[in-house]
Amino acid sequence: MNAKLTWIKPRRPHWLPAALLAAGLAAAAGTARAGDTTAARQLERFSAQAGTPGQAERGRIFFTSRHGGEWSCASCHGNPPASAGKHAGTGKSIAALAPAINPQAFTDTTKVDKWFRRNCKDVVQRECTATEKADVLAYLLNLMR
């Protein structure tokens, strides 16, 4: 018994990296579930990706500008986006983007990523950068009723 233990002891625990990886994967999967996050955490996420904090005033300008196309973000989400918006194409109602008014806004990571991708392509003809997303979040989180 003793001899066996001394043989095992100096060896690396092979299960450890696998266990850490499994925990990491579970955590990553968790962030993709509905209602898994907050608007403040999304601001932190994009600021971290950008390597700089989001700036509300820059976000306001980005959100209300047409970037050479037909629509700005405000065309559908309103200016300011503190009440329900109206889709510029279909006229369908869109829940307010400002988290102070709509507590559901930015609480689902998958939804946030999906709509940023889609709407940025519509408005700026490319995906938004992390800096632009952080700026938009900072702007929206600053909006009061």
Residues that bind ligand HEC (CB under 6 A): 71, 73, 75-77, 87-89, 94-95, 97, 105-106, 108, 111-112, 115-116, 119-120, 122-124, 136
| Cβ atoms within 10 Å of 95's Cβ, excluding its own | 13
Nearer to ligand HEC, 52 or 70 (CB): 70
Q: Which is nearer to ligand HEC, 9 or 143 (CB)?
A: 143
The CB-nearest residue to ligand HEC is: 73
Shortest distance, position 138 Cβ to ligand HEC, whole Å:
12
| Shortest Å, Cβ 25 to ligand HEC | 24
87 phi, psi to nearest 5 deg = -55, 125
Q: Provide the minimum distance between the beta carbon of 71 and ligand HEC in the complex, in angstroms, as a whole number.
A: 4
Cβ(106)–Cβ(116) below 8 Å:
no
- For the bound state, the minimum distance from the C-beta of residue 82 to ligand HEC, rounded and expressed in Å, comes to 14
52/79 with CB nearer ligand HEC = 79
Residue at 138: amino acid letter: A
Residue number, 105 or 134, with CB nearest to ligand HEC: 105
